[in-house]
Amino acid sequence: MNAKSTPTTGTQADPATGSPVRESQNVSNAMWGGRFSQAPDTLMEAINVSIGFDQKLYAQDIVGSIAHCKMLVEQEILDSAAGEQIIEGLKKIRVEIEEGTFEFKNALEDIHLNIEGRLTEIIGDDAGRLHTARSRNDQVATDFKLWVRDTIDAIDEALNVLQTTLIDQAEKNAAVVMPGFTHLQAAQPVTVGHHLLAYVEMLGRDRGRFQDARTRLNESPLGSAALAGTSFAIDRDQTAKELGFDRPTANSLDAVSDRDFALEFLSAATITSLHLSRLGEEIVVWCSAQFSFAKLSDAFTTGSSIMPQKRNPDAAELVRGKSGRVVGALIGLITVMKGLPLAYSKDMQEDKEPVFDASESLGVCIAAMTGMVNDIEFNIDRLKDAAGEGFTTATDLADWLVRVAGLPFRKAHHVTGELVRLAETSNRNLDELTLDEMQSVESQITDDVFSVLGVAESVSSRTSYGGTAPDNVLAQVKSARERFL
């Protein structure tokens, strides 16, 4: 959108005082009406103006105004001829904004007054009838809810695509073994597919949180007016239905002062960004020369200005870094809202920028992560070798001692620890110990123990529900497609 935003310029005499007043301030006072005889200070205008960011709400403002206009006509509060003029004027304004010919004016403060001002230029004084039975308080709350709702729908679609990409990679790598970690120390072998499906589950919960937030926000504030409702015989059910809300809000004070929906959106966005950040961190580690678990193509890496050998996973790092912006947006808005009495206060103008910024950051992170997951190539041989490092089948040995040799688990744990120490001191893996060496620690060990000491055998044995066995992973892939896609 390349619409123009113009600064305030020009002066003329104030008719009440004869003092010079900027032309733009007269425009502002005309919108406000007769209460003020002097223009606001330049600094007041600078701190008060929001058109630089709330112009993002133009589509929702126009949709909400059209719904309000239709209701006023239906209720015979507004005659049909004026209503038709208003609706056609609003549609024209939307075209102007989308084509980039609309002139946004700082003097008109926000998107609502900018649209109303332009509507007045198009149709004349009848434009002022549109504001009957509403306030900017319920107007902005309605616009903002509509915007957040639209954004949730877009994020859900993007997360669906990311889940699809992860599931596809999980299916492709269902039997590829890799080391599983706790404390970033080698713990037990898992499969790449199993690892990726963990993020599918996280993103599924993220989508659920967004949908829960959407359900709670889907009540229409329109018609609550400034804070107390209106004496006009309006039909709030009609406007709620027209705008796709489930119902009108039950309390006018709550309706204009509620920003729970924005906080809940930011909370869901924060948790999602943290999940993306964790995956980003893993990609950074996997692509390091020291791990060499995976590789990203040139499409998602950059070089160094001085070190020609470098292939930096910048996309993954930026996904990790941008999570801080989303977290900051949540904390910032919580801080704004924490001490506000009912109903509306101008502090609440600070609600939109963090939401807009967090939404943009999250959107680009989801897209970047989808691209990286689709692009990544796993080093299968290196992963298999690493899966056997660090005595990762020790738990399999302990389980065998319980299951086959009949040892209590605590004793099996102790015996396994002794065998790990024996292998470690001789710089060998567990499966490289001889049977005689093992029996010197525990006489009940037999040749059968070697059937559980390989990494492939280890992952294949993990057949409990939700486990890492390749057959399980394929079943989980099928289930995930049914549940999420």
Q: Quick check: is 304 catalytic?
A: yes
pLDDT of residue 245: 98
19, 297, 304, 479: the catalytic one is: 304
**What is the average per-residue pLDDT within 299-328?**
91
Token digits of residue 150: 């639209």
**How many CA atoms does the CB half-sphere of 123 hold within 13 Å?**
21
Kindly give the interhelix angle for 136-172 and 111-123, rounded to the nearest 10 degrees: 120
**Residue 15 pLDDT > 80, yes or no?**
no
**Residue 2 pLDDT > 70, yes or no?**
no
Residues linked to residue 191 through DSSP beta bridges, in sequence order: 177
Kindly give the interhelix angle for 58-74 and 80-99, rounded to the nearest 10 degrees: 170
Other Cβ atoms less than 10 A from the Cβ of 425: the count is 8
Q: Which residue has the higher pLDDT, 27 or 241?
A: 241
pLDDT of residue 46: 77
**Residue 32 pLDDT > 60, yes or no?**
no
pLDDT band at 57 (very low <50, low <70, confident <90, very high): very high
**Residue 35 pLDDT > 80, yes or no?**
no
Q: What is the pLDDT of residues 224-262, one digit of tens each?
A: 999 999 999 999 999 999 999 999 999 999 999 999 999
pLDDT band at 141 (very low <50, low <70, confident <90, very high): very high
Q: What is the pLDDT of residues 67-86, one digit of tens each?
A: 999 999 999 999 999 999 99
pLDDT of residue 105: 94
pTM of the predicted structure, to 2 decimals: 0.89
The rounded distance, in Å, linking the Cα atoms of 375 and 298 is: 10
Token digits of residue 87: 């609706």
**Mean pLDDT over the full length of the chain:** 92
**What is the average per-residue pLDDT within 294-317?**
89
**What is the average per-residue pLDDT within 16-23?**
41
Comparing 162-166, 242-246, 426-430, the range with the smallest average pLDDT is 426-430
**Residue 42 pLDDT > 50, yes or no?**
yes
Give the sign of the dihedral formed by CA 239, CA 243, CA 246, CA 250. negative
Token digits of residue 345: 């206060």
Q: Quick check: is 135 catalytic?
A: no
Task: Give the end-to-end CA distance of the chain in Å, rounded to a whole number.
Answer: 32
Report CA-CA distances (Å) from 467 to 162, 199, 245, 378, 391: 22, 15, 42, 21, 20
Comparing 46-50, 261-265, 281-285, 315-319, the range with the smallest average pLDDT is 46-50
**What is the average per-residue pLDDT within 293-316?**
89
Q: Cβ contacts of residue 260 below 8 Å, gap of 6+?
A: 216, 217
Q: What is the pLDDT of residues 184-240, one digit of tens each?
A: 999 999 999 999 999 999 999 999 999 999 999 999 999 999 999 999 999 999 999
pLDDT of residue 303: 84
Token digits of residue 29: 């006072």
183, 305, 443, 464: the catalytic one is: 183
**What is the average per-residue pLDDT within 401-430?**
95
Q: What is the pLDDT of residues 90-123, one digit of tens each?
A: 999 999 999 999 999 998 999 999 999 999 999 9
pLDDT of residue 347: 93
pLDDT of residue 302: 87
Residues linked to residue 105 through DSSP beta bridges, in sequence order: 6
pLDDT of residue 11: 41
pLDDT band at 33 (very low <50, low <70, confident <90, very high): low
Comparing 26-40, 201-215, 385-399, the range with the smallest average pLDDT is 26-40
